[in-house]
């Protein structure tokens, strides 16, 4: 704290060195030098941590407190400056040599004017600040001609920072001190004026609320006296709306009781707002409102075919549902889950289904949701509570039988706030969702007529209990021919409409579209293909706005000029046979991929080194493949002592995590090639899990893997024999361009990948 002369102040002393100083002063002449430290956070201080200017005072009273500290009352006399300050080991305290700061005499008119300004400002300060008595300004009139004392007394009564008070104490010239004080007072006055304005505004609002509350209470009392108890404006409105909902008797009674509660709470109380918000939600929901399904099967099929190419399995499922409904069955709507890579049309297909059925459509994204309350809502006891997304979606749908899309269901999270996937169990269970209970509504809502459709890139991240409640429909990636047809009959017509360009004014031949598909996009769907085509249409718009005439022609020669150089020109696929390099096939959330696997060996101590961010399952698969190859070392002509070499298996693109067992056959082939020195064919790709005895067992994602092999220019593919049934779902275009070999044992693989007939004799 900063102590000014001409003031009497209490000081609490707790630091040992300060207590010793008080005790020494009390033993001698009771004089003490009070100075402020520069950093208030410091406990241990040195002379350099103190300001130069302080105040000399006389101790009037000391009181020892129970904790050993002192309460000291000091009468401050005059300002002084430290000349020298040392720590005395004898007295265990600081001893300072000081000199008095003499007052500078100044009788100028400017000083008189400054004094008057300061007094006027302080008068206004006292008027605005009710903590100071009005008599304070009167007593200051007596010291108008003593500027230093005037500054000291006024500054000591202001709520200033220590640094500002120290500055006022340290200034030597009365003129400078008064001038600085005027600036300080002006700032404090501005703050007080703002505070007064805020206080007045708050006071007016409180008075208005109190007045309205009083008048309404008085009106209510008069109405009760006259027998007119209800305020028919709000309460009767809600009651009429609730009765029109035609709900069950017990639910209707509960809601009417809720409306009646409005009579018992003040109109502008928070509870009144909570009740009204709740009732507004109730009456805004589409209770017992249903749209009529379009049961013309041919019309529905035409709409689905018009908006989407292929996807026959999904379309047939919708037709079957309508056929059963038309025949008199299907009391409940199906719950479908579209699983497939991005861009294959999962979301847009759901919209087309709603159009075909004549139902309203609503979509919510579940990606990143971690709070169960997002699904079930918050209980009304919480401030700002609202229903969950399901009920919000039903209000948005305006009917109780919409097509309801739950997008990205595989992206749900889980944390300390609950598991939203578990909350969805009731929503997606046909046996339970007739009485879906939202925490906010606290009354059951019938979801049994809602046509729920969910989408996911993979089922691996969906909990089994939730997966069991949905019918899985897989939307695989498109072939090049399918992408071409989608571009010609769906994307280009849509882009011509969006860019307001006549189809006759732009020429994009099929060979150009195929070039874009092969060299500019590598995807299972058509999202990037649409982006590349949109670039061409934007160039065409610029072409015509610049006043150019004729048809905007796109050729293979000018394609790079329009949309940039090709981005995919062959990838990792080698042309000639290589030792220790095999092509595997992998399934990912975005489709299939060709997965090269590299193997080398060198002198070592029998270690198997695995790199490329491999997961635990893939690491075990590598160990299994290595064990099998070692068991076939004689037949393969491998003459190494395995305890004297290290084998390194690497899968490129190390930044991408990889896992799964389907690369076992590929790793075994690459290991056999590296250790035997026989080159592997690079026009062959393979997939399959291997056992330690060499048996090949089935894997998933066969269609996506074959599509990836076809796109990469692979000629021959090896798959597990038990996956032959999956070939019925493969487009003829793919099967006609690939030689697909099914195998049941690793011994059948070696003659294919090494292309050496003697291998067959060795391993048989």
- pLDDT, tens digit, for every residue of 496-518? 999 999 888 999 999 999 899 88
What's the sign of the alpha-carbon dihedral 306, 311, 314, 320?
Answer: positive
The answer, yes or no, to whether residue 612 has pLDDT greater than 60, is yes
List 333, 674, 705, 711, catalytic entry: 705
Q: How far from 584 is each of 19, 180, 484, 664, 728, CA to CA, in Å?
A: 83, 82, 27, 9, 22
Tally the residues of the chain: 764
Per-residue confidence band for 405, with pLDDT thresholds at 50, 70 and 90: very high
Long-range contacts of 119-123 (CB under 8 A, 24+ apart): 119/144, 119/150, 121/182, 121/185, 121/186, 121/189, 122/154, 122/185
Provide the pLDDT for residue 574: 65
CA separation for the pair 746, 750 (Å, rounded): 7
Q: What is the mean pLDDT of residues 246-250?
A: 88
Per-residue confidence band for 666, with pLDDT thresholds at 50, 70 and 90: very high
CA separation for the pair 262, 256 (Å, rounded): 10
Weakest-pLDDT range from 180-194, 406-420, 425-439, 514-528: 406-420
CA separation for the pair 63, 52 (Å, rounded): 28
Residue 383, SS3 per DSSP: coil
Q: What is the mean pLDDT of residues 27-55?
A: 85
The answer, yes or no, to whether residue 367 has pLDDT greater than 70, is yes
Q: What is the mean pLDDT of residues 255-260?
A: 86
Per DSSP, which regions of 311-370 are E strands?
Answer: 335-339, 361-365
4 in Cβ contact with 155 (< 8 Å): yes
CA separation for the pair 460, 467 (Å, rounded): 10
Per-residue confidence band for 305, with pLDDT thresholds at 50, 70 and 90: confident
Provide the pLDDT for residue 385: 87
Q: How far from 700 is each of 20, 500, 592, CA to CA, in Å?
A: 85, 44, 11
Query: pLDDT, tens digit, for every residue of 711-735?
Result: 888 889 999 999 999 888 888 878 8
CA separation for the pair 655, 677 (Å, rounded): 29
Q: What is the DSSP string of 32-77?
A: EEE--BS-TT-SS--GGGB-SEEEEEEEEEEEE-TTS-EEEEEEEE
Neighbours of 108 (CB within 10 A): 10
Per-residue confidence band for 416, with pLDDT thresholds at 50, 70 and 90: low
Neighbours of 274 (CB within 10 A): 17
pLDDT, averaged across the chain: 85
Provide the pLDDT for residue 719: 94
Pairing of strands 696-697, 689-690: antiparallel
Provide the pLDDT for residue 410: 87
Per-residue confidence band for 230, with pLDDT thresholds at 50, 70 and 90: very low
Residue 115 a catalytic site member: no
List 6, 354, 662, 673, catalytic entry: 662
Q: What is the mean pLDDT of residues 126-154?
A: 78
CA separation for the pair 342, 711 (Å, rounded): 17
Query: pLDDT, tens digit, for every residue of 531-544?
Result: 999 999 999 999 99
213-247 per-residue burial string, b: 16 or more CB within 10 A, e: under 16: eeeeeeebeeeeeeeeeeeeebbeebbebbeebeb
Task: List 609's β-bridge partners, or say none.
Answer: 648
Residue 705 a catalytic site member: yes
- Nearest CA among 529, 407, 519, 532 for reference residue 478: 529
Weakest-pLDDT range from 40-49, 242-251, 394-403, 546-555: 40-49
Structure tokens at 63: 């009181």
675 in Cβ contact with 636 (< 8 Å): yes
Provide the pLDDT for residue 647: 94
The answer, yes or no, to whether residue 369 has pLDDT greater than 80, is yes
92: region left, alpha or beta (phi > 0 left; psi from -120 to 50 alpha): left
Name the CA dihedral angle for 59, 65, 70, 72, rounded to a multiple of 10 degrees. -30
């Amino acid at each position: 704290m900063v102590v000014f002369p001409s003031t009497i102040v209490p000081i609490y002393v707790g630091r040992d060195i300060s207590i010793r100083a008080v005790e020494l002063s009390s033993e001698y002449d009771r004089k003490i030098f009070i100075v402020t430290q520069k950093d208030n956070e410091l406990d241990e201080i040195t002379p350099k941590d103190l300001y130069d200017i302080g105040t000399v005072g006389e101790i009037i009273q000391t009181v020892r407190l129970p904790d050993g500290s002192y309460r000291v009352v000091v009468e401050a006399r005059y300002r002084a400056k430290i000349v020298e300050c040392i720590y005395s080991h004898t007295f265990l305290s600081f001893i300072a040599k000081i000199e008095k700061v003499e007052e500078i005499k100044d009788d100028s008119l400017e000083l008189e004017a400054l004094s008057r300004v300061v007094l006027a400002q302080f008068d206004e300060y006292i008027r605005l600040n009710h903590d100071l008595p009005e008599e304070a300004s009167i007593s200051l009139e007596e010291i108008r001609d003593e500027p230093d004392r005037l500054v000291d007394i006024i500054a000591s009564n202001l709520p200033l920072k220590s640094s500002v008070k120290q500055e006022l104490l340290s200034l030597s010239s009365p003129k400078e001190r008064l001038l600085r004080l005027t600036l300080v007072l002006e700032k404090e006055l501005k703050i007080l004026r703002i505070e007064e304005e805020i206080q007045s505004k708050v006071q007016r609002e409180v008075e208005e609320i109190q007045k309205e509350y009083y008048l309404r209470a008085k009106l209510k009392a008069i109405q009760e006296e006259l027998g007119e108890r209800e305020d028919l404006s709000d309460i009767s409105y809600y009651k009429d709306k609730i009765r029109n909902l035609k709900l069950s008797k017990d639910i209707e009674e509960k809601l009417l009781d809720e409306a009646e509660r409005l009579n018992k709470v003040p109109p502008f109380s928070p509870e009144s707002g909570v009740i009204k918000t709740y009732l507004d939600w109730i009456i805004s929901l589409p209770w017992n409102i249903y749209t009529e399904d379009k049961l013309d099967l041919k019309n529905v099929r035409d709409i689905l075919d018009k908006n989407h190419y292929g996807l026959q399995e999904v379309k047939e499922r919708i037709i079957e549902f309508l056929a059963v409904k038309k025949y008199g069955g299907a009391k409940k709507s199906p719950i479908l889950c579209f699983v497939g890579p991005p861009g294959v049309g999962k979301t847009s297909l759901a919209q087309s289904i709603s159009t075909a059925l004549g139902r309203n459509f609503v979509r919510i994204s579940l990606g990143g949701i971690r709070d169960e309350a997002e699904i079930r809502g918050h209980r009304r006891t919480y401030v700002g509570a609202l229903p969950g997304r399901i009920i919000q979606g039903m209000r948005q749908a305006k009917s109780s039988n919409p097509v309801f899309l739950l997008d990205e269901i595989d992206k749900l999270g889980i944390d300390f706030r609950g598991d939203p996937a578990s909350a969805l169990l009731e929503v997606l269970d046909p046996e339970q969702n007739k009485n879906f209970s939202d925490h906010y509504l606290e009354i059951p809502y019938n979801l049994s007529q809602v046509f729920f459709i969910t989408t996911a890139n993979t089922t691996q991240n969906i909990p089994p209990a939730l997966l069991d409640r949905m019918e899985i429909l897989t939307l695989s990636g498109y072939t090049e021919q399918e992408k071409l047809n989608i571009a010609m009959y769906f994307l280009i017509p849509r882009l011509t409409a969006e860019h307001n360009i006549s189809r006759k004014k732009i020429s994009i031949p099929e060979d150009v579209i195929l070039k874009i598909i092969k060299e500019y996009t590598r995807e299972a769907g058509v999202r990037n293909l649409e982006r590349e085509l949109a670039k061409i249409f934007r160039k065409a718009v610029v072409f015509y706005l610049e006043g150019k005439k004729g048809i905007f022609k796109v050729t293979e020669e000018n394609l790079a000029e329009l949309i940039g150089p090709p981005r995919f020109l062959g990838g990792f696929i080698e042309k000639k046979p290589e030792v220790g390099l095999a092509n595997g096939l992998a399934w990912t959330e975005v489709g299939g991929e060709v997965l090269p696997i590299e193997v080398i060996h060198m002198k070592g101590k029998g270690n198997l080194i695995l790199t490329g961010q491999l997961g635990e399952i893939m690491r075990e698969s590598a160990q299994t493949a290595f064990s099998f190859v070692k068991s076939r070392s004689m037949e393969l002509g491998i003459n190494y002592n395995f305890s004297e070499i290290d084998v390194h298996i690497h899968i490129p693109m190390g930044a991408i995590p990889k896992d799964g067992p389907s690369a076992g056959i590929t790793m075994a082939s690459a290991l056999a090639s590296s250790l035997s020195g026989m080159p592997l064919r690079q026009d062959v790709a393979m997939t399959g899990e291997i056992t330690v005895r060499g048996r090949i067992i089935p894997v998933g994602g066969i269609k996506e893997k074959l599509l990836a092999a076809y796109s990469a220019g692979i000629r021959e593919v090896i798959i597990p024999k038990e996956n032959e049934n999956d070939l019925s779902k493969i487009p003829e275009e793919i099967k006609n361009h690939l030689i697909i070999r099914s195998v049941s044992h690793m011994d059948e693989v070696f003659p294919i990948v090494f292309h050496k007939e003697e291998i067959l004799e060795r391993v048989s």
